[in-house]
Amino acid sequence: MKLSIDPVPESAWGNNLRTTMGRSRWDKFRVQVLAEQGNVCAICGSTRKLECHEVWEFEDKKGAQRLRGFQASCKLCHLASHFGLAENLALQGHVNLEDVIEHFLKVNGVSMKEFEKHKKAAFALWEKRSKRKWKLDLGQWASLVPSAYAQQVALGFNMTRHTRKNSKQRPRKRRAAVTDTLKPSEVIDSYWVEAERRQGVYPDHSENGGKWLVFVPLSQVDDVWEKIRCATEEGRLGGSAKISTAKPNPNARDPKTKVICVYTYDWTDEKDVKRVREELRRLGVLSKIPYKADQETYSGQYANRGNTRISKYYE
């Protein structure tokens, strides 16, 4: 089929380039890949809501998970290929599963009966592959992984832990990365310290992604970040978060404050954006904060450069 269901084995969840690169590096890389492929979905030809799909090959005899390349994929094609994720997101109200199935049928020109047969075979293989461990092989893209994670990747360690409802699999213990042991106020060789969601399911960051910007005085940086980092990893916010460090950043609007970016996958999903805002309030972020789309950041729009009215939300 032109569009197929290719679920990632549960034992390999979190083993990917996106996770090991970190949010900011991946976003830049994703934009580059999509541009190189003409900003068109390689499967259905759509130009809307494009995502970067990692193409993997699983060598069952060797237990190797090899990265073969990347594919520009519209949101619906991407969800169809990761249909198990789409089902979980549908339960949370993020996705209309009927739209995903209808898209699959249309792209492949098949009946519902053929879809169900294909789905059954795909998940039978998924169940089999999920029972074993996989050695991660990033191939020519291994050099893109930050040094703090390089050894873990070489050992085939799961960088992100996901949990699935009713799953009986015990989560692995995660080895701490270098930045896990340092407070943002202590980091001087990188502009950002990042955190990734490790529990639950959440949509992949899209071309409509964005972030709540939380500006924090220097005296409160480490304490506020610890709360947001924990909430991010526990799945109470969006897909990721990051905080500016002690390294001076030319885009910073005030050297006496640091900014925490709390990402959501799509700024047009107002329900999800405001859910994350409410959770930030519960964490103690009570003053009004702006929400900025990634598109504005990529185009170089910053407040300290005189740009105004760039916030999608301010509350």
By residue count, the chain amounts to: 315
Nearest residue to 196 (alpha-carbon basis) of 137, 262, 143: 262
Nearest residue to 160 (alpha-carbon basis) of 47, 2, 8, 283: 8
Nearest residue to 195 (alpha-carbon basis) of 221, 222, 160, 171: 160
Query: Which residues share a beta bridge with 175?
Result: none
Q: How open is the CA angle 50-53-55, to the nearest 5 degrees? A: 155
Distance of alpha carbon 8 from the chain centroid: 15
Confidence of residue 126 (pLDDT cuts 50, 70, 90): very high
For position 179, what pLDDT does the model report? 42
* Pair type for strands 311-314 and 290-293: antiparallel
Residue 250: pLDDT over 90: no
Residue 278: pLDDT over 90: yes
CATH T-level topology, domain 176-314: RNA Cap, Translation Initiation Factor Eif4e (3.30.760)
- The stretch 69-73 carries a mean pLDDT of 95
Q: In whole numbers, what is the pLDDT of the chain averaged over residues?
A: 83
> How far apart, in whole angstroms, are the C-alpha atoms of residue 125 and residue 24?
33
User: 13 or 308, which is more confident?
Assistant: 13
Question: Where does residue 252 rank: exposed (0-12), middle (13-18), buried (19+ CB within 10 A)?
Answer: middle
pTM, entire model = 0.63
Residue 120: pLDDT over 90: yes
CA separation (Å) from 300 to 29, 210, 306, 310?
A: 17, 14, 11, 11
Domain range annotation of the chain: 10-144, 176-314
